[in-house]
């Protein structure tokens, strides 16, 4: 899926943000919001594992940087992506962001503290 990225593509990530998954919300092939357990008000409420950037975009924006320091916690992705794209330009992958193809995995128990008690997403995603 990443190989067909023209500019910046996005997809759901499983076992992240204290939820079973987080994902971009897509309508008519465009990202219109975020299904996330933490700060849905972020400009790009996407996990680091949930996007790809084409090399052409990186080369076209030589001053774009991913800050290890200087970003607020959880804002590194948004701070970086704001330099190179807009939400309207994002390319949804993984069947319009309805399939989890990427998971956060660790050698520790999964934290689902932000998982809603009842299913509140508009689609049913298997994780």
Give dist(CA 2, CA 5) in Å, integer.
5
Going 68 to 73 to 75 to 79, the CA torsion angle's sign is negative
Residue 93: phi and psi, rounded to 5, are: -115, -170
- Residues annotated as catalytic are 77
């Amino acid at each position: 899926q990443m190989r067909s990225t023209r500019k910046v593509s996005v997809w759901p990530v499983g076992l992240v943000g204290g939820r079973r998954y987080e994902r971009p919300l897509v309508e008519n092939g465009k990202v219109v919001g975020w299904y996330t357990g933490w700060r849905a008000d972020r400009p790009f409420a996407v996990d680091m594992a949930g996007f790809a950037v084409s090399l052409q975009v990186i080369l076209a924006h030589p001053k774009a940087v991913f800050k290890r320091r200087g970003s607020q916690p959880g804002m590194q992705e948004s701070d970086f992506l704001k330099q190179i794209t807009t939400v309207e330009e994002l390319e949804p992958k993984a069947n319009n962001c309805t399939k989890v193809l990427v998971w956060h995995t660790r050698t520790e128990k999964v934290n689902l503290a932000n998982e809603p008690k009842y299913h509140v997403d508009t689609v049913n995603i298997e994780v």
